[in-house]
Amino acid sequence: MNISSIGSNSYINYEQLASGKKINSAADDAAGLAIAKKLETQSNGYDVGANNAATSQNMINVADGALASVNDSLQRIRELSVQASNTAVYGDDEIGAMQAEIDQLKQHISDVAGNTQFNTLNLLDGSMTASNVASSPDGSGMQINLPDSTLEALGIADFDVTGNFSISDIDKAIEKVSQARSSLGAQSNALDSVQAYNSYASYNLTAAQSRTEDLDFPKAISDLEKNRVLEEYRLLMQKKQQEEDERVVKLYGNL
């Protein structure tokens, strides 16, 4: 043991106990610090990826809720279309009233497509058909596809029961919405898997970082006590040396 280094070692012990880490600077362990910081960066990357996946999942939930409303409107349009087909019972005035309600429902669908947003992003107007989710530490990830639910995309922009019309047009629109919601569900499930994997990876990397830089408290306390005893011994030896020096000076002074 180098007696001159005891005070420095005690300072390091106190610093470690205060921080809870055995590596507080490159001077403590340059290689260990580099490894710990690399592990921290990787862990943070997985955490960000998991958060991105969760945010994208929230966005999908908003889109799915809006599509549920579109589906309700389409189902009502279909009911009105079936009624309007019964020309033996309903005349032009009644069918005109049905079309007026259909127009309102179409306007609602158009509003949903144009105004459904998540963090200022339009979700259902066709502009989000291929968006990347940065779910990996390197910024890569899966793509999510949100449907175009405009009247034009659904094929019912000109649907009018007062003229020639086909209920199959509405059926096709309903099927498009149903398929879109199924796709959103599958994408949401995939994002669940991404979040689970990222959380697991982050946990393991954080654990590895902890093993690299976290302090072994029992050992640190033992080292501190050992250094304290050695420091007392150093001071005692220093005092004895000083007394011996004074004795020698006094001896020579009496000659």
Asked if residues 123 and 65 have their Cβ atoms less than 8 Å apart, the reply is no
User: In 10 A of CB 112, how many CB atoms?
Assistant: 21
pLDDT higher than threshold 80 for residue 104: yes
pLDDT in tens, 239-252: 778 877 777 777 67
pLDDT in tens, 56-67: 999 999 999 999
pLDDT in tens, 17-56: 666 676 676 667 788 888 988 999 999 999 999 999 999 9
